[in-house]
Amino acid sequence: MTVFDTPVERRGTDSIKWGKYAGRDILPLWVADMDFAAPPAVLAALHQRVEQSVFGYGHPWPSLEESVLAHLAGEYDWAIEREWIVWLPGLVSGLNIACRAIDGEVLTATPVYPPFLSAPRFSGRALNRVELAEHDGRWQWDMAAMAMATTPATRLFLLCHPHNPVGRCWSREELQALADFAEQRDLVVCSDEIHCGLILDADKRHIPFASLSPAAAQRSITLLAPSKTFNIPGLGCALAVIPDAVLRRRFLRAMDGIVPHVNVLGLAACEAAYRDCADWHGELLTYLAGNRDRVAMAVAGAGRVRMSPVEATYLAWIDVRPLGLSNPAAHFEAHGLGLSDGTDFGAPGWLRLNFGCPRATLDEALRRFTAACQAA
């Protein structure tokens, strides 16, 4: 038994994940938060901040910035300067700000986290999509298709790194090919790295796009947060790292009058998460890798459905098209399992399963998954 096996009752709370199916016997394995308590060091930092009893407007403080810098240097060998940081209340805000800030068409690779598809539209930008290619059970960028989908007006590539929902931890070679492409086409790369702390394969490492080279850094906007890794997305604290001063000013101008300060509890949690939770984080990765293996085994055993290996994130991307269902998400709900509908990610016939939950919950969910497949 580990701390991650301890059930936390989320029914009847403010949880969006659990509230969706209130009063129904449907296990929610959809939206991307985990059913785990936050790390003890984060809880202690929050208690300490609450003890101060005053919650006036706050700004980021030096030890918080130190914590971010040390975390990025230690985990990813990425040295940044504190003035490159722009604090944000969330990454979705960051994606939308990037689309507003960069004048031109947007390119992204699908299937992808739905706000990648809506953010260009919200900013009046045309979106060009290119399908990821699945070769030998591995999702990849199709660079030829990317070239075809790029027009002279394309100015921004929205990168999901690691990629939600396909679970790829992009390699240095792949990232360098993308950086070369961005250089040739003069694209800004907005790299959403919210899942970077969730690399499940011991032989893989997250490489920030901006850390590839000074040239890549100059055309990058990197979006980061402790929210997924340390399971604190409800605290609304994220940051953009933008090395180029001109690009940073454009980004800041697009935020003017719309984007609020980050709340002080989110900032306090961020400092502790990045500095004081290494042991908790290591145990989490071991636990999630075990869950990932259980999901892979269940999907392989269910017949007809399939998935590629999940290298990163706590999300499995499952092809249920062979079941021939007209509404796969509704079919699985009818068998007691709430999954994300691939249609929202640009891929009807696929489902996304969130395995960030205690093993007892997961095992019951996988039992229901198998039953739903057999009933189809």
Ligand X SMILES: Cc1ncc(COP(=O)(O)O)c(C=O)c1O
Contact set with ligand X (CB under 6 A): 32, 90-92, 113, 160, 164, 192, 194, 225, 227, 233, 238
CB distance 181 to 128 below 8 Å = no
Question: Rounded to the nearest whole angstrom, what is the least distance from the CB of residue 130 to ligand X in the complex?
Answer: 17
Quick one: tokens of 257?
A: 């009058």
Question: Rounded to the nearest whole angstrom, what is the least distance from the CB of residue 298 to ligand X in the complex?
Answer: 23
Query: Which residue number, 72 or 92, has a Cβ lying nearer to ligand X?
Result: 92
Question: Rounded to the nearest whole angstrom, what is the least distance from the CB of residue 12 to ligand X in the complex?
Answer: 23
Query: Which residue number, 190 or 365, has a Cβ lying nearer to ligand X?
Result: 190
Question: Rounded to the nearest whole angstrom, what is the least distance from the CB of residue 186 to ligand X in the complex?
Answer: 25
Least Cα distance to 2 among 319, 291, 296 occurs for 291
Question: Rounded to the nearest whole angstrom, what is the least distance from the CB of residue 87 to ligand X in the complex?
Answer: 12
Query: Which residue number, 123 or 164, has a Cβ lying nearer to ligand X?
Result: 164
Residues 241, 251: Cα–Cα separation, whole Å: 11
88's CB contacts (< 8 A; 6+ apart) are: 94, 97, 223, 238, 239, 240, 259, 262
Query: Which residue number, 91 or 217, has a Cβ lying nearer to ligand X?
Result: 91
The CA distances from residue 165 to 99, 147, 353, in Å, are: 21, 23, 9
DSSP secondary structure letters along 325-366: -SSHHHHHHHTTEE-EEGGGGT-TTEEEEE--S-HHHHHHHH
The secondary structure element, H or E, covering residue 268 is helix 264-276
Residue sitting closest to ligand X (CB) = 90
Question: Rounded to the nearest whole angstrom, what is the least distance from the CB of residue 72 to ligand X in the complex?
Answer: 17
Residues 169, 216: Cα–Cα separation, whole Å: 18
Question: Rounded to the nearest whole angstrom, what is the least distance from the CB of residue 208 to ligand X in the complex?
Answer: 15
Q: Using only C-alpha atoms, what is the Rg of the chain? A: 20
Query: Which residue number, 160 or 199, has a Cβ lying nearer to ligand X?
Result: 160
Could you count the other beta carbons within 10 Å of the beta carbon of residue 152? 9
Query: Which residue number, 35 or 192, has a Cβ lying nearer to ligand X?
Result: 192
Question: Rounded to the nearest whole angstrom, what is the least distance from the CB of residue 259 to ligand X in the complex?
Answer: 12
Total residues found in the chain within this entry: 376
Question: Rounded to the nearest whole angstrom, what is the least distance from the CB of residue 354 to ligand X in the complex?
Answer: 9
Question: Rounded to the nearest whole angstrom, what is the least distance from the CB of residue 51 to ligand X in the complex?
Answer: 27
Least Cα distance to 358 among 319, 316, 314 occurs for 314
Helix axes 245-255, 91-101, angle to 10 degrees: 110
Query: Which residue number, 174 or 180, has a Cβ lying nearer to ligand X?
Result: 174
Query: Which residue number, 195 or 331, has a Cβ lying nearer to ligand X?
Result: 195
61's CB contacts (< 8 A; 6+ apart) are: 267
Mode of pairing for the β-strands spanning 27-28 and 337-338? parallel
Query: Which residue number, 228 or 275, has a Cβ lying nearer to ligand X?
Result: 228
End-to-end CA distance of the chain: 35
Query: Which residue number, 192 or 271, has a Cβ lying nearer to ligand X?
Result: 192
CA angle (70, 74, 76) in 5-degree steps:
115
CB distance 341 to 322 below 8 Å = no
Strand partners, 127: 106
